[in-house]
Amino acid sequence: MLNYEDYCQAADLLRSRIGGFSPEVLLILGTGIGYLAESIEDPVVVPYREVPHMPVSTASSHAGNFVFGRLAGRCIMAMQGRVHIYEGYTAEQVAFPVRLARLLGCRDMIVTNAAGAVNYNYHVGDIMLISDQIRLFDPDPLIGPNIPQFGDRWCDMSDVYCAQYRDLARQAACDMGIQLREGVYFYFTGPQFETPAEIRAARMLGGDAIGMSTVPEVIAAVHCGLKVLGFSLLTNMAAGMVKTAYVPGEVSRTAESVKDTFCALVTSCLSRLPHPPATERS
Ligand code: HPA
């Protein structure tokens, strides 16, 4: 279990690397779009393994770096790759970088992931704006003693994916001629893909997309007061929806084919996020 001092120790290490740079937005780059970090101006790269208590990505498609710098006119802290519970980490460890971002001054978070489509109206390659999320049985990052420096024990989850930010994302997609889906992200830890029965259950319960990430980070973000905008890149139809079973490599191949559009949309949303008044920056 982590305590507040562990977070402060990690934040101090990052502050020593970034000098006076003060990030405003945490950008979590999921499967296939880590390359957006290459567009960051004047980047300062800090590998996860150099940060005390920070879990390290074991997935080969996740580079495992923090990249600090400017993108679309905003000061950002990007995560090139993330860690997942299925790698053997606790939900609290998976959410660790979100709380670090808060300690460094971030007020907003844009989270991205690759996901399977559960909604029959969706197609492979679609981008879904996440309107809400469902976590039923899997571990929660807030279990354990509450750390009051981050937030209250009882955390309101009624506007997780900020309505105002979803409005600006819809507008950005419209201006760019991108057809944007909007729906609910249903979370299973994996690492195995779901069974057709699990996918039917997820659909009946209100899920539109299915994935193995994002939810622990988003819960921690809401708890510590970050405003959240989230996107899923739908890389495959979920189990049982098409005749052919999941083909290895499908997720990365689809992500690769859509990554330019996806990155352009995320960048445009970044540029449209409201600037907090100077007095509110911490
Ligand atoms: N299921 C879970 N996670 C995923 C999927 C899926 O079908 N596709 C991409 N990530």
Say how many Å lie between the CA of residue 107 and the centre of ligand 1: 29
Tens-digit pLDDT profile for residues 203-229: 999 999 999 999 999 999 999 999 999
Protein residue closest via CA to atom 2 of ligand 1: 211
30 lines ligand 1 (CB under 6 A): no
Tens-digit pLDDT profile for residues 7-32: 999 999 999 999 999 999 999 998 77
Say how many Å lie between the CA of residue 246 and the centre of ligand 1: 9
Residue 51 and residue 26 in contact, taking contact as beta carbons nearer than 8 Å: no
What pLDDT score does 279 carry? 59
What pLDDT score does 108 carry? 98
Nearest ligand 1 atom to alpha carbon 194: 1
Residue 139 and residue 272 in contact, taking contact as beta carbons nearer than 8 Å: no
- pTM of the predicted model as reported, rounded to 2 decimal places: 0.95
What pLDDT score does 247 carry? 73
* Mean pLDDT, range 102-118, rounded to an integer: 97
Report residue 222 as tokens. Answer: 């809401």
**CA pair distance 199, 273, nearest whole angstrom:** 34
Going by C-alpha positions, the residue among 178, 171, 182 that lies closest to residue 231 is 182
254 lines ligand 1 (CB under 6 A): no
Q: Which residues pair with 111 in a beta bridge?
A: 28, 230
Tens-digit pLDDT profile for residues 140-197: 999 999 999 999 999 999 999 999 999 999 999 999 999 999 999 999 999 999 999 9
What pLDDT score does 280 carry? 57
211 lines ligand 1 (CB under 6 A): yes
Tens-digit pLDDT profile for residues 38-94: 899 999 999 999 999 999 988 766 679 999 999 999 999 999 989 999 999 999 999
Say how many Å lie between the CA of residue 34 and the centre of ligand 1: 17
What pLDDT score does 43 carry? 96
What pLDDT score does 277 carry? 67
207 lines ligand 1 (CB under 6 A): no
The residues, any chain, with a CB within 8 Å of residue 63's CB and separated by 6 or more, are 34, 37, 57, 80, 81
**CA pair distance 200, 43, nearest whole angstrom:** 44
Question: What's the one-letter identity of residue 97?
Answer: P
236 lines ligand 1 (CB under 6 A): yes
Protein residue closest via CA to atom 7 of ligand 1: 116
Q: Is 42 exposed, middle or buried (0-12, 13-18, 19+ CB in 10 A)?
A: exposed
What pLDDT score does 21 carry? 96
Say how many Å lie between the CA of residue 102 and the centre of ligand 1: 28
Question: Which of 194, 213, 237, 242 gets mutated to test ligand 1 (max ligand atoms within 8 A of its CB)?
Answer: 194
**CA pair distance 22, 236, nearest whole angstrom:** 37
Torsion 42-226-171-231 (CA) sign: positive
What pLDDT score does 278 carry? 61
Say how many Å lie between the CA of residue 82 and the centre of ligand 1: 15
Q: From the CB of residue 213, how many other CB atoms can be counted at a distance below 10 Å?
A: 26
Tens-digit pLDDT profile for residues 227-275: 999 999 999 999 999 987 667 788 888 888 888 999 999 999 999 999 8
What confidence category does residue 34 fall into, taking pLDDT thresholds of 50, 70 and 90? Answer: confident
194 lines ligand 1 (CB under 6 A): yes
- The full set of domains in the chain, from first to last, is 4-273 (3.40.50.1580)
